[in-house]
Amino acid sequence: MPTPSPSSAAIAGFTGEETRVLAALIDVIIPEDEDAGGWDGGVARLLREHAQDFMAWAVAPLKIAVADAETEAREKFGVGCADLDHRERRSVVEALAERESVTEQPATGVMGGLDREAAAPIAALKQVAFEGYYGNTSEPAGWAVANFRPLPEGVTPVDPDPPAGVRPESLARHYDVVVVGAGAGGGVVAAELAENGRNVLVVERAREHRTGDLRTNHLQGKREQDYDTTAGPGPGSPRVLELADGTVSVARSDRNGLAYGLVAMTLGGGTRLWQAMSWRFFPEDFRMAAEYGTPEASTLADWPISYDDLAPYYDRVEWELGVSGDGRGVLGARTPRTREYPMPPLPSDSTREVLEGSAARLGWRSTAIPYAINSVPRDGRAACVRCPQCIGHACPVDAKNGTHNTFLPRALATGRTDLIMASQVVEIVHDGRGRASGVRLITETGSGPVESTVRADVVVVSAGALETPRLLLASGLGNDWVGRNHHSHAGAYALATRPPDGAKTDLGPGHSVATLDFVHRDHEGWGGGVLYDSGPPYPLARAIGAGRNPATAYGAAHKAAMRRRSLPLGAMSMVQEIPHEFTRITLDPALRDRHGMPALRARYAAHPASQEAADYMKTHARRWVEEAGGRDVVALAGAGMPQGSEHSAGTARFGTDPASAACDVRGLLFGTDNVYVADASLHPTNGGFNPGLTVMANALRIGRLLTER
C-alpha cells in the first residue's frame, strides 16, 4: 500500500515531517482500499480546519504518538515510520497499542467517553481517526463506507431565512410583556399574548443559526456532543456539577458538550432539534404522590392541575404545532381526546413491523409514535423525507415542527412582537417587594457586548429548568423552592448485539413504534414509562463501538465491520425520575460567566425509586427485543443525567402553597406580583414520556391566563 502523500502544508502544531508520519499512522487505523483511507477521507481536513480550536486537545497526544512511532520504527526497521510499508507500520501501531493497554488505560470522562484532557497517545490517534473519517463537520468518506446518506436521493434541502430580530438600539423603552427564552414555553406564550393584543419582547440567548448550521455536523451536533455544540452558549458559560459522593467538576461550555448538559440553545430551543415525539402525559402522571405515596428523602408532589384541565390545551397545541399520529387506538384509550390528530402517523417501516409482531406475541398493544413532524405537506411546508439524522439536527426540508417555525412566526406576524437574539437576560429588575419593572440584558454584537435595560409590566421566564432558576436566584426572586426538585428521566435500554437481519432501519425520525402497556400498570415500577424502539446509531458511534472490540479495533477488519449493513435492534424507555431532597440548582459562590452572572451549580443524587423504575422497564425492554429475534441482548438501566438533560424539570414547580412550591397554579412566582414561569421548571413530576408537548400545552394555558390578567 502506498505511503500517504499529504499536501505540503503542515498541520498547525506539527512539522512537515510529523504531519507525514501522522498521516501514515492514521492510514493504519483506517487503511485505503476501494474507499479513501483515513487521512484523505476526512482526518487531514478536520485537523487543518480545527487543530487550533476544538481539536486542539489532540495535538499533544498525537505528537507523542508520532514520536513513539518514529522511535519504534527506527529501532525495529532502521527507517522512519512514514517510509515503512503498510504491514510494517501496522506492527508499529500494534506494539504501541499493546504497550499502552498495559501501562496506561485510556481515560474516560464524565459521561464515559474518551477524556480528551488525559487521552493516551494511541487512544487519541484512534479517536481522531474515527472523528475525521466518520464524524467530520461535513460529509466525510466514512459515511459512504457505512452506507450512510444524510439525505434521500433527489431531495434538495431548504434553508428558510431566520425571522428578523431587532438590534439593541431598536428596542422599545417599554413592553407589556418580556418573555425570556424562545423555546417550547416562551415561543408559545409569546404567540398567545401577541395574538391577544399584547406588545411583547422575546429575548433569546442563542446566536442566530440557519438550518444549514444545525445539520450534518456529527461532531458538534446537539446529540453527538463531542465538542462545543453549535447549538450551545459558546465559550465563557461554565457550570459546576456536584455529586452525592462529594465529587465536584467544572463543565466548560466550549469543551465536551454532553458533560455540559443536553439542552439546545437556538431559536425554538429544543423544539428546533428535537426528534419531536409528542406524547400527552397520562392522567395518573398529574397525581404521582397520591397514586404511589411519597418515598423517603424525595420531594414528590402532585400537580395542582389535572389531565382534564390541560386536555383542551393539548388539543390546541397538537393542531397549532402540527402533530401526526393515531388517536383512535391505544392513545385514545389512555389519554382521552375530543378529536383526531391533524395528520396521520408517519408511514410504517421494517422496525415497526418487526416490533409490532413481537409485541402482539407477548400480548402487548403497540402504536405508531405521535410526532410533531409533517406526515403530509402542511402550512406551506413539506412532508418528512425520512432522512437518517433527525435526532439532534435541524430538518433539511422544514417538516419538523417547533416554536421556531410555528408559534414564533405567528407572534412576529402580529407586528406586536420584537425578537432580540444573542441576548442574555442577566437580571430581572425589581423593587425588592415583589414588583418587577423589567429586565437587564446583554447582547453580543459585532463590536462587543451591549447592555440594555427594558421596562415591562410582566416578565415571563421560559429559559428552561436549568437557566430559569439561575436567573431567578441571581435576581434575588422567589422562595426556597426555586432550584429544588431538579429531575429529568431515568431510563432503560436493551440492545441485541446479534440482531435479526433487516429488522432495524435508519429511516427517520429514528424511532417508530411504542408500547404503553407498562405506563401506570397496576402501580408497578413507580408508573413505568413508554417503551419504544431505540434509534439507529450514527456512523461515528458505530465506529467507536467497533473500535472497542479487539477484533475490529482498526485496520481492514474495522472497515469491514463498518460496511456490514445490519443495524442494532434495541428498545428503550424513559421513566419517572423521583425528585430528591439533595438534588438542587444553585448559584456558585465564586465562578462567573462571561457577563459576570454567577455560574449555575447543579447538585445531584439519584433517588433509589428512580433506579427501581428503570430496572422495571429494563426487564420489559429485554423481553421485547428477544421476542423480536435479537440475540446476545445487553440491557442497562439507570437514573437521570446529573448535569441536566433536555427533559430537565421541576426547579420552579407550581402548586397551591408557597410552603411546598415556587409558583402558583397560574405560573406566578410566589412573592412577586408580575413574574411568571412558563417552561418545564413548573413540572412537579415529568411523566414517563418526552415532556415537550406538555411544556407547550401548559405554556399555552399560562398564556391564556395572562391575557385575562
577-635 pLDDT per residue, tens: 999 999 999 999 999 999 999 999 999 999 999 999 999 999 999 999 999 999 999 99
Query: Is the pLDDT score of 472 beyond 50?
Result: yes
3-state secondary structure 368-408: ECCECECCCCECCECCCCCCCCCCCCCCCCCCECCCCCCHH
Query: Is the pLDDT score of 223 beyond 80?
Result: no
Burial class (CB in 10 A: 0-12, 13-18, 19+), 7: exposed
Please tell me the least confidently modeled range out of 243-252, 287-296, 341-350: 243-252
pLDDT tens digits along 682-706: 999 999 999 999 999 999 999 999 9
Number of domains present in the structure of the chain: 2
**Domain presence at residue 524:** no
**Domain presence at residue 510:** no
Same domain, 125 and 172: no
| Average pLDDT, rounded, for the chain | 94
Which three cell numbers mark 162? 431566520
Q: Which amino acid is at 512?
A: S
Please tell me the least confidently modeled range out of 32-36, 225-229, 327-331, 372-376: 225-229
Same domain, 261 and 118: no
Q: Which amino acid is at 83?
A: D
Confidence of residue 17 (pLDDT cuts 50, 70, 90): very high
pLDDT of residue 482: 98
pLDDT of residue 4: 43
**Domain presence at residue 703:** yes
d(CA 38, CA 133): 6
Could you tell me how many residues make up the chain? 709
Distance of CA 623 to the CA centre of its chain: 27
Q: Please, what is the Cα angle at 401 between 316 and 493, to 5 degrees?
A: 100
pLDDT of residue 442: 98
Q: Please, what is the Cα angle at 322 between 156 and 198, to 5 degrees?
A: 110
Which three cell numbers mark 32? 485505503
Query: Is the pLDDT score of 158 beyond 80?
Result: yes
d(CA 264, CA 648): 12
d(CA 225, CA 235): 15
Same domain, 118 and 202: no
d(CA 188, CA 696): 6
Strand order in the sheet with 598-604: 248-251, 239-243, 598-604, 584-592
Which residues make beta-bridge pairs with 177? 200, 458
d(CA 254, CA 229): 8
- The helix or strand, by DSSP H or E, that contains position 22, with its residue range, turns out to be helix 16-29
pLDDT of residue 564: 83
pLDDT tens digits along 382-419: 999 999 999 999 999 999 999 999 999 999 999 999 99
Query: Is the pLDDT score of 1 beyond 50?
Result: no
Confirm if 453 and 436 have CB atoms less than 8 A apart: no
**Domain presence at residue 550:** no
Query: Who has greater pLDDT, 227 or 375?
Result: 375
**Domain presence at residue 138:** no
Residue for cell digits 412576529? 412
Same domain, 182 and 60: no
Please tell me the least confidently modeled range out of 224-228, 321-325, 330-334, 498-502: 224-228
pLDDT of residue 273: 96
- Of 84, 107, 133, the residue at which a domain comes to its end is 133
pLDDT of residue 8: 46
Which three cell numbers mark 42? 476526512
d(CA 22, CA 7): 13
- The pLDDT of 169-183, averaged and rounded, is 97
Confidence of residue 136 (pLDDT cuts 50, 70, 90): confident
Which residues make beta-bridge pairs with 203? 180, 420
Query: Is the pLDDT score of 3 beyond 50?
Result: no
- Of 133, 159, 193, the residue at which a domain comes to its end is 133
d(CA 592, CA 588): 8
Same domain, 219 and 315: yes
Query: Is the pLDDT score of 122 beyond 70?
Result: yes
Confidence of residue 259 (pLDDT cuts 50, 70, 90): confident
Confirm if 417 and 182 have CB atoms less than 8 A apart: no
**Domain presence at residue 343:** yes
Query: Is the pLDDT score of 519 beyond 70?
Result: yes
Which three cell numbers mark 456? 415591562
Q: Which amino acid is at 348?
A: S
d(CA 500, CA 569): 8
pLDDT of residue 7: 46
Confidence of residue 502 (pLDDT cuts 50, 70, 90): confident
Confirm if 87 and 94 have CB atoms less than 8 A apart: no
Same domain, 289 and 183: yes
Same domain, 177 and 112: no
Sequence-ordered list of residues with C-beta below 8 angstroms from that of 161, at least 6 positions apart, any chain? none
Q: How many Cβ atoms sit within 10 Å of the Cβ of residue 594? A: 16
- Of 133, 158, 180, the residue at which a domain comes to its end is 133
d(CA 155, CA 174): 46
- The helix or strand, by DSSP H or E, that contains position 121, with its residue range, turns out to be helix 121-134
Confidence of residue 225 (pLDDT cuts 50, 70, 90): low
Distance of CA 578 to the CA centre of its chain: 21
Among 559, 539, 541, which Cα is nearest to 551's?
559
Q: For 463-536, where are the E strands, in sequence order? A: 489-498, 513-515, 531-533
- The pLDDT of 130-152, averaged and rounded, is 93
d(CA 97, CA 122): 6
Domain interval for residue 631 = 168-489+572-707
Confirm if 527 and 285 have CB atoms less than 8 A apart: yes
Buried b (16+ CB within 10 A) or exposed e, 321-348: bbbbbbbeebbeebbeeeeebbbebbee
Residue 179: left (phi > 0), alpha (psi -120 to 50), or beta?
beta
pLDDT of residue 107: 56
**CA distance readout (Å), 209 to 44, 219, 532:** 27, 17, 31
Beta strands 598-604 and 569-576: pairing type? unpaired
Dihedral sign (CA 140, 144, 145, 150)? positive
Same domain, 209 and 280: yes
**Domain presence at residue 11:** no
Same domain, 122 and 176: no
Q: How many Cβ atoms sit within 10 Å of the Cβ of residue 566? A: 12
d(CA 437, CA 673): 11
Same domain, 325 and 246: yes
d(CA 11, CA 395): 34
Query: Who has greater pLDDT, 104 or 309?
Result: 309
Query: Is the pLDDT score of 2 beyond 50?
Result: no
The CATH number covering residue 187 comes to 3.50.50.60
pLDDT tens digits along 276-317: 999 999 999 999 999 999 999 999 999 999 999 999 999 999
Q: Please, what is the Cα angle at 700 between 429 and 385, to 5 degrees?
A: 115
Confidence of residue 253 (pLDDT cuts 50, 70, 90): confident
Helices (H), 475-607: 539-547, 556-563
Residue for cell digits 439593541? 168
Same domain, 192 and 102: no
d(CA 622, CA 461): 41
Same domain, 331 and 403: yes
d(CA 354, CA 629): 9
Confidence of residue 190 (pLDDT cuts 50, 70, 90): very high
How many CA atoms are closer than 13 Å to the CA of 297, on its beta-carbon side? 9
- The pLDDT of 234-256, averaged and rounded, is 89
Query: Is the pLDDT score of 91 beyond 80?
Result: yes
DSSP state of 164: P
d(CA 597, CA 423): 13
Query: Is the pLDDT score of 5 beyond 70?
Result: no
DSSP state of 669: B
Share of the chain above pLDDT 90, in %: 86
**Domain presence at residue 562:** no
Sequence-ordered list of residues with C-beta below 8 angstroms from that of 263, at least 6 positions apart, any chain? 269, 270, 464, 466, 644, 645, 646, 648
